[in-house]
Amino acid sequence: MPNDPRFDLSGKVAVITGATRGIGRAIAFQLGRAGAAVVVSSRKADAVNATVQALEAEGVDARGFPANVGRLEEARALIGFASSELGGLDVLVNNASELGGIGPLMQFDVQRFGRVFPVNAGAPVALVQLAVPLLAERRGLIVNITSDAAQAAYPGWGPYGASKAALELLTRTLALELRDRGVSAVIVDPGDMRTRMHQEAFPLDDISDRPLPEVTVPFWNWLFDQTPAQISGERFAAQAEDARWLQQA
């Protein structure tokens, strides 16, 4: 249940993609601890089941739905599951991402754009299209997870960063286009963390000095306590020391 008694999401329903590890898992736990019913999704059924069991052990109302959100039919089934099993949707967190490999653009197989962009930019839009009727009923919130690679050029990170930059522009556009329907959308950069994806990007590096995803908990407490319409279209850095949200927390 909520760590902070002021942070209560009882009665809310959230769907989180890429929710079995890293920042997605941390978000699922924080939403669940605050009282929300959460739908945990990722491609691997065993990981989904293990995450649901861990959430239920803490008293969270958790459901699992394995899905490859890059496939439209599976994305449709995921949103349909939230509707049929939990009666609606308040929060959609698009966290599932494809790294696409790290290396110079001059050596990048451009055909791999056909996997990176559909997962990192296309799937979130498809899920939003499917979820908007549910979100509109509850004046819900879309949270699209980005990276600092979307705003800065890092050697080796070009394809991933480009896909996240596309996601950021798409999110801002959605925020404007969905405003009259009462649906809000924000972009969140969780920052550098000790995650499997980060280790995959730097397989020979020791990343033990990076913080765990739980370092972002104060940010999620703040974000999900806001009126969605008042923050729609904004980009937040969950670990930034001078972040505006910290001044308001």
Q: Is 10 exposed, middle or buried (0-12, 13-18, 19+ CB in 10 A)?
A: exposed
Q: Residue 197 — very low, low, confident or very high, per pLDDT cuts 50/70/90? A: low
Q: Which residue has the higher pLDDT, 63 or 4?
A: 63
Higher pLDDT, 191 or 234: 234
Please give the CATH architecture assigned to the domain spanning 13-248. Answer: 3-Layer(aba) Sandwich (3.40)
Domain ranges within the chain, ordered by starting residue: 13-248
Tell how far CA 31 is from the center of its chain: 12
Please give the Cα distance from 91 to 191 (Å, whole number).
Answer: 21
Structure tokens at 126: 């498809």
Q: pLDDT at residue 227 above 60?
A: yes
pLDDT at 247 over 70: no
Cα 41 to Cα 53, 94, 241, 248: the distances in Å are 13, 10, 31, 32
Report how far residue 95's alpha carbon sits from residue 48's, in angstroms, rounded to the nearest whole number: 14
Q: What is the pLDDT of residues 129-172, one digit of tens each?
A: 999 999 999 999 999 999 999 999 989 989 999 999 999 999 99
| 61 contacts: CB under 8 Å, gap ≥ 6 | 32, 36, 37, 38
- Residue 31's pLDDT is 97
Q: How far is CA 102 from CA 17, 192, 211, in A?
A: 23, 16, 22
pLDDT band at 102 (very low <50, low <70, confident <90, very high): confident
Mean residue pLDDT across the chain: 90
Per-residue pLDDT at 180: 97
Read off the pLDDT of residues 3-26 as tens digits, 9 standing for 90 and up.
Answer: 454 568 999 999 999 999 999 999
Which residues have a catalytic role annotated? 160
